Amino acid sequence: MLRAEIIGVGSYVPERVLTNFDMEKFLDTSDEWIRKRTGIEQRHWAAVGQSTSDLALQASQDALKSAGLSATDLDMIIFATLTPDHFFPGTGCFLQEKLGVAGIATLDIRQQCTGFLYGLSIADHFIRCGTYKKILLVGSEVHSSGLDRTTRGRDVTVLFGDGSGAVILSAKEVRNPEKDSFVLGGELHADGRGAKELWVPAPGSALGRADRVDHEVLEAGLHYPQMNGKKVFIAAVTKMAESLTNCLEEHGVTVQDVDRFFFHQANLRINDAVAEQLSIPREKVFNTIQKFGNTTAATIPLGMHEALKAGELKKGMLVALAAFGSGYTWGASLLRY
Ligand SMILES: CC(C)(COP(=O)(O)OP(=O)(O)OC[C@H]1O[C@@H](n2cnc3c(N)ncnc32)[C@H](O)[C@@H]1OP(=O)(O)O)[C@@H](O)C(=O)NCCC(=O)NCCS
């Protein structure tokens, strides 16, 4: 059977590190508050002039190198981001130009923190159908230039970091489904009733104004993320645990069978709660939020790359992924690495 295998993983974070103590200098917050409530100790922020596609280029080249491929081997780019280079066109087009591979398909997806899982499923389906053989899936974000650095926005501003993660998916004829490395499958969900619990209202066509951006919009801070943190927290724990349970059951595997869990990195307490509900041993969950904060669509591939470098992710391991984010969107996937 024709299936997708991850044959390359890469990542990139900007050089500039911003610790919680650095944040104390310009924001009414404290290291103690951030660390206790989220587990975050630091995050990386892009330099002025560094765009989402710039970060993605570095992560993509890293992933291509680890796969032993060059960009000209690719058939398609799937780009997950909520912080695009521009309002339109999609950031995949800008990345494609930077990779120098004009002509191949590019697809931007707007599934926020679940973007990597949606992208994985889309790539998997293109490969299963035999349409494409080599797909670059990249999650990349530059949050730093879009955060409210006043007390009004401090609940959100302390959470997000900039970064990028990428994988290369390749078509593979799976002969031994019990042992071969491939994407086994997964499930995806959304509930638009939660759309305004975590969102950036402007610019947008639904604001009921003659211009997408005007002074009132800017003064009201509608171009900054708005979040109902408590509601999002509860929904994230519930839906990630539910989805992961369904995904494992559907594939006839138990928590004991899974070697490593990579969860979206929004809050260490969310991930600890999911692990506790499902009786997942702490050492099986690979968290990176302490170092990178929430890099949205990049958290899972960035985590996989960190785990590879640390020798915590090895060929043949059974790996489960789960995410929850704005939309609401959520899901889970299972793969043998
Ligand atoms: C954001 C989050 C950490 C806030 O934690 P919380 O325990 O819910 O905190 P609250 O919002 O109740 O705020 C508690 C107090 O801290 C204050 N506060 C908020 N942000 C703060 C900050 N950065 N520094 C210091 N104080 C802060 C609040 O103003 C509030 O003060 P008050 O009690 O005087 O009114 C938490 O709700 C969360 O992580 N939610 C999920 C967010 C998430 O996952 N988002 C991405 C999903 S993909």
pLDDT digits 0-9 by tens, 275-287: 999 999 999 999 9
Residue 242 confidence (pLDDT): 98
Say if residue 103 is exposed, middle or buried (CB neighbours under 10 Å; 0-12, 13-18, 19+): exposed
Residue 268 confidence (pLDDT): 97
Nearest CA to ligand 1 atom 38: 229
Mean pLDDT rounded to a whole number for the chain: 97
Our answer on whether the CB atom of 113 is closer than 6 Å to any ligand 1 atom is: yes
Helices (H), 48-185: 52-67, 91-99, 115-128, 154-157
Ligand 1 pocket check: which of 155, 191, 300 to mutate, most ligand atoms within 8 Å of Cβ? 155
CB distance 140 to 55 below 8 Å: yes
Question: Residue type for 109, please?
Answer: I
Our answer on whether the CB atom of 146 is closer than 6 Å to any ligand 1 atom is: no
Mean pLDDT calculated for residue range 225-253: 97
- C-alpha torsion 217→221→222→228, nearest 10: -150
Q: Which helix (H) or strand (E) holds 4?
A: strand 2-12
Residue 40 confidence (pLDDT): 98
pLDDT band at 296 (very low <50, low <70, confident <90, very high): very high
Mean pLDDT calculated for residue range 147-159: 96
- How far from chain centre, in Å, is Cα 87? 20
How many helices, marked H, and strands, marked E, lie in the chain?
11, 13
Q: Which helix (H) or strand (E) holds 332?
A: strand 329-336
Count other Cβ atoms within 10 Å, centred on residue 164. 33
Catalytic residue among 20, 44, 93, 113: 113
Q: CA–CA separation, 58 vs 278, rounded Å?
A: 36
Domains of the chain listed by start with CATH number? 2-173 (3.40.47.10), 182-336 (3.40.47.10)
Read off the pLDDT of residues 46-70 as tens digits, 9 standing for 90 and up.
Answer: 999 999 999 999 999 999 999 999 9
Our answer on whether the CB atom of 24 is closer than 6 Å to any ligand 1 atom is: no
Query: What one-character DSSP code corresponds to residue 294?
Result: B
Residue 315 confidence (pLDDT): 97
Residue 137 confidence (pLDDT): 98
Catalytic residue among 20, 267, 287, 294: 294
Q: Which of 152-166, 202-216, 301-315 has the lowest mean pLDDT?
A: 202-216
Mean pLDDT calculated for residue range 241-251: 98
Residue 83 confidence (pLDDT): 98
CB distance 163 to 298 below 8 Å: yes
CB distance 290 to 39 below 8 Å: yes
Q: Is 287 a catalytic residue?
A: no
Residue 182 confidence (pLDDT): 98
CB distance 117 to 57 below 8 Å: no
Q: CA–CA separation, 77 vs 70, rounded Å?
A: 13
Q: Is 44 a catalytic residue?
A: no
| Residue in 48, 194, 39 with CA at minimum distance from that of residue 114 | 194
CB distance 146 to 160 below 8 Å: no
Mean pLDDT calculated for residue range 143-169: 97
Residue 246 confidence (pLDDT): 98
Nearest CA to ligand 1 atom 47: 325
Residue 248 confidence (pLDDT): 98
Query: What one-character DSSP code corresponds to residue 202?
Result: -
Read off the pLDDT of residues 85-127 as tens digits, 9 standing for 90 and up.
Answer: 999 999 999 999 999 999 999 999 999 999 999 999 999 999 9
Q: Is 113 a catalytic residue?
A: yes
Atom of ligand 1 nearest to the CA of 266: 44
Residue 334 confidence (pLDDT): 98
